[in-house]
Amino acid sequence: MAYFHCVSRVVGREYLLGPAEKEHFIKLMRIYEALCGLRIASYCLMSNHFHLLVEVPQRPSPDELPNDENLVGLVRKTLGKKSANELEWELGHLKSIGNIKGADALRERWFARMWDISSFMKTLKQRFTQWFNARHKRKGTLWEDRFRSVLVQGECHALRAMAAYIDLNPVRAGICEDPADYRWCNYAEALAGGQLARQAVSFLNSLAPHGGLLPANQRPRTHKEGLQRWRCWLFGLPESEAGQAEQLDREKTRAGSATIRDRVPRKAALDVLAKGGRLDRATYLRCRIRYFTDGLVIGHRDFVEQAFAACRDHFSQGRKKAARPMRGLELAPKPERLYAARQLQKDVIT
């Protein structure tokens, strides 16, 4: 299992994505999430870019791959009857004329689209571009680049921090004071009752701070409790204050909003860093921290070193170690400290 924080921006960084475009993007995202066998652990769609935190399972062994019936059923469920019927007919035709290699090659073309982050992102962006260009009677590319990604350690504090960072994107942009008020992010979708978004929040709540999963008796028992816990994580509240989080959900009190605003200002965060201080989680998640988009790999020290060893040829030969402490962030206990594969020398906050 691997987790990637993926970011892509509109060409020229123009604000081209309105409410209708955002809704259609999310619709396509859910379709290809199911088709490709992935899970969206968090997302946020803005007017000129998007963030996705994607769980990518390993490709199943040959014996575990879907058979023809299950493959056709998956295509029917995600892409509709027309695509499924065409696939079913073509597989049947190839088998009827004894072209088993041809049928295997056809299946492999479909399997190549699954359990792969590059294929998922390419398909999602291409399909959305086709829809967008047809809707707006335009031609040409919509995205300024392929996409950028950061490998994130799963089942630990790093994944929770990244997911919260993504949910808080509209807060950092000054669009709202509360991500619950921004409908195109995972947290707001979960609050609205979206089952896939709620399942993602439940998964994030099951992660233990030092790695691995919490015992079953320590996990939220209901979706409501899970949303309260996640809100505590977003707002920097102790989980013992879940009642306070619920009150903020219900009332959006003035006192609560003021508390949030006090943690957001970029200038205050820069002043702390200039004096050699460190930002607490509630503050740094509300600032644009370049590590989350430019850090290459994020996680505990051992995870970053393992990723470095696996991709040694992509780094300079003189480099001996990969893990670099993330500058300017809270000095957490060692088991919870976050490291990146790239050390940023300046503009940690932008």
pLDDT tens digits for 30-76? 999 999 999 999 999 999 999 999 999 999 999 999 999 999 999 99
| DSSP category for residue 48 | S
Evaluate the CA torsion angle 277, 282, 283, 288 in order and state its sign.
positive
Q: Tokens in use for 139?
A: 């031609």
Give me the pLDDT at residue 3, please.
97
Report which of 280, 224, 235 is spatially closest to residue 257, judged by C-alpha positions.
235
Maximum CA extent, the chain = 75
Long-range contacts, 22-27 (Cβ 8 Å, 24+): 22/184, 23/184, 24/128, 24/131, 25/50, 25/128, 26/184
Every domain of the chain and the residues it spans: 62-111, 154-264, 268-340
Give the pLDDT confidence score for residue 296 in this predicted structure: 86
- Give the containing element (helix H, strand E) for 220: none
DSSP conformation class of 329: B
Mean pLDDT across 228-237 = 85
* Residue type, position 56, single letter: V
More confident residue, 342 or 142: 142
Q: Is the pLDDT of residue 309 over 90?
A: no
- More confident: 349 or 197: 197
Q: Decide which of 345 and 82 is more confident.
A: 82
- Order across the sheet with 39-45: list the strands: 39-45, 49-56, 2-9, 148-152, 297-299, 339-340, 324-325
The overall pTM is greater than 0.85: yes
Q: Nearest CA to 191 among 231, 234, 242, 251?
A: 231
Is 314's pLDDT higher than 70? Answer: no
- CB distance 132 to 142 below 8 Å: yes
**pLDDT tens per residue across span 233-289:** 888 776 555 555 455 555 444 344 433 444 445 667 777 776 677 777 777 777 787
pLDDT, residue 346, reads 64
Share of the chain above pLDDT 70, in %: 83
Angstrom distance (rounded) from CA 243 to CA 228: 8
- State the pLDDT at residue 162: 94
The pair phi, psi for residue 22, each rounded to 5°, is -65, -40
Element (H, E) at 328: none
Separation between Cα atoms, residue 284 and residue 201, nearest integer Å: 21
Query: Are the C-beta atoms of 213 and 206 separated by less than 8 Å?
Result: yes
Buried b / exposed e along 67-87 (16+ C-beta atoms within 10 A): eeeebbebbbebbeeeebeeb
Judge contact between 34 and 78, C-beta under 8 A: yes
Instruction: Evaluate whether 158 touches 152 at the Cβ level (below 8 Å).
Output: yes
Single out the residue of 122, 125, 145, 144 nearest to residue 133, CA to CA.
125
DSSP 305: H
Place of tokens 């509209």: 170
Quick one: pLDDT at residue 255?
Answer: 40
Q: At what angle do helices 223-235 and 242-251 cross, to 10 degrees?
A: 90
> In angstroms, rounded to a whole number, what is the distance separating the alpha carbons of residues 45 and 24?
11
pLDDT of residue 331: 61
Residue 78: what pLDDT?
96
The pLDDT value given to residue 324: 81
Rounded distance, CA 236 to CA 173, Å?
19
Distance between alpha carbon 45 and the CA centroid of its chain, in Å?
11
pLDDT at residue 67 in the model? 95
Residue 53 and residue 166 in contact, taking contact as beta carbons nearer than 8 Å: yes
pLDDT, one tens digit per residue, over 145-170 is 889 999 999 888 889 999 999 999 99
